[in-house]
Amino acid sequence: MGGGRRVSDSEHAQRLFEIVGSSWMTQLVRTAAELRLAEHLVDGPKTTAELAALTSTQERPLGQLLRGLCAIGVCEERDDGAFDITPMGALLSEDAPYSIRSWALHWGGALWGPWGRLPETVRTGESGRFLESGTRGFEHLAGDPEAALRFNQAMVELTRVSAASIVEAYDFSGCARVMDVGGGYGELIATILLAHPNVDGVLFDMPHAIDHATAHLSDKGVLSRCELVAGSFFESLPSGADVYVLKSILHDWNDERCGAILATCRAAMTPAARLLVVERVMPDRMVASGQHATIARSDLNMLVANAAQERTEAGWREILNDAGFEITGIMAAGFGYSVIEASLTTDGASP
């Protein structure tokens, strides 16, 4: 045994208090995003009274919120008592190039109820979302345009921080046509097209995403090079792409549903086409580290949202092999993502 100082039970208890209470930050940041504090502070510091008037809130609790935001580095209190936004806090502004406003609203809002059902989810295997609302998968978005908008924009924000690294990790230069399957508003396909002027794109998703993706692709300047197709990846996909990308898709589904999505991909693909699965790869064994905590959070988020999961390399290999694919390469990208390249198995037999 090492000769390090023994951590006392009291110190363990203090650490556990911190862990138990850490969800307070989610609601703090969510509330800052809802009140648009970053937008109100973009032109310079303001007093609590000024901010209370601008946000239609009560001065005393708003002051508490602002001081809490100072404690986690989102705001700063100046000597004159006015509050400023930090460079990190400024990313809660909708207009910030790396805004995570929708993500903050999504985590603190739509996901909050399902996370509260975690004990029941672990007991029953049902997703927290199903236990909360009786809906599964993405069906809740079809009838709720506001929730769909928020979710799709949240996915743009999440994908934006890794898209450039995905394009660096995989060489798309030899492709003529790339399809982003379940590509949301098209953040990833737009990044691929901007990096490769000779490549054309197809964005495939459900109507709730495709109906609003035009504006996003137009803002990115790639609309003329990207075909938009609405449909279900459980039914059929257009053929004709050299590469079919599934980013953050398979982790939303159990093995059986993944098999169905992969079968649809397989049916659309020519023997020379490639499948790219862009996902996190779970370590075989978890230890206490920031990196493992990030992937565990995503894994459990898939559990509460969809009764689904992240997978280890062996897990990815298994579902791909079972669906008639073989992995031909795994490339590390940014923000903990990997690009798993797979091709159709050479015997040509359907599994």
Ligand X SMILES: C[S@@+](CC[C@H](N)C(=O)[O-])C[C@H]1O[C@@H](n2cnc3c(N)ncnc32)[C@H](O)[C@@H]1O
- In angstroms, give the least distance from the CB of 184 to ligand X: 4
- For the CA atoms of 43, 45, 50, 52, the dihedral, rounded to the nearest 10 degrees, stands at 100
Contact (Cβ atoms closer than 8 angstroms) between residue 233 and residue 162:
no
Does 232 interact with ligand X (rule: CB under 6 A)? yes
Task: Choose between 112 and 335: whose C-beta lies nearer to ligand X.
Answer: 335
Residue 205 binds ligand X, judged by CB under 6 A: yes
Site membership for ligand X, residue 233 (CB under 6 A): yes
For the question of residue 212 being annotated catalytic, the response is: no
Instruction: Say which amino acid occupies 193.
Output: L
Judge whether 77 and 48 are in contact, CB under 8 Å. no
The residues facing 343 across adjacent strands are 274, 326
**Does the footprint of ligand X cover residue 303 (CB under 6 A)?**
no
Out of 46, 140, 150, 247, point to the residue binding ligand X (CB under 6 A).
247
Determine contact, residues 92/99, Cβ cutoff 8 Å.
yes
Nearest residue (beta carbon) to ligand X? 182
Binding mask 50-69 for ligand X (x = CB under 6 A): --------------------
Residue number with CB closer to ligand X (261 or 320):
261
The residue annotated as part of the active site, out of 196, 208, 251, 292, is 251
Nearer to ligand X, 39 or 187 (CB): 187
CA distance 105 to 87: 19
Among residues 183, 264, 268, 309, which is the contact residue for ligand X, using CB under 6 A? 183
Segment near ligand X (CB under 6 A); pick from 16-24, 110-118, 176-184, 291-299: 176-184
Residue 56 CB burial class (10 angstroms; 0-12, 13-18, ≥19)? exposed
Taking CB under 6 A as the rule, does residue 249 contact ligand X?
Answer: yes
Q: Which stretch binds ligand X (CB under 6 A): 112-120, 181-189, 269-277, 284-292?
A: 181-189
Spatial neighbors of 131 by CB under 8 A, at least 6 apart, are: 114, 117, 120, 121, 124
Binding to ligand X in span 99-138, by CB under 6 A: 138
Q: Does residue number 252 form part of the binding site for ligand X (CB under 6 A)?
A: yes
Q: How far apart are CA 222 and CA 214, in angstroms?
A: 10
CA-CA distance, 340 to 272, in Å (whole number)?
16
338 binds ligand X (CB under 6 A): no
Rounded Cα distance, 231 and 336, in Å: 29
Q: Segment contacting ligand X (CB under 6 A): 39-47, 232-240, 266-274, 297-305?
A: 232-240
Residue 165: Cβ-neighbour burial (10 angstroms; 0-12, 13-18, 19+): middle
R_g over Cα of the chain? 22
- Picking from 227, 204, 216, 244, the residue whose alpha carbon sits closest to that of residue 157 is 216
Q: According to CB under 6 A, which one of 38, 41, 206, 308 is a site residue for ligand X?
A: 206
Positions annotated as catalytic residues are 251
**Site residues (CB under 6 A) for ligand X?**
138, 155, 159, 182-184, 187, 205-206, 209, 232-234, 247-249, 252
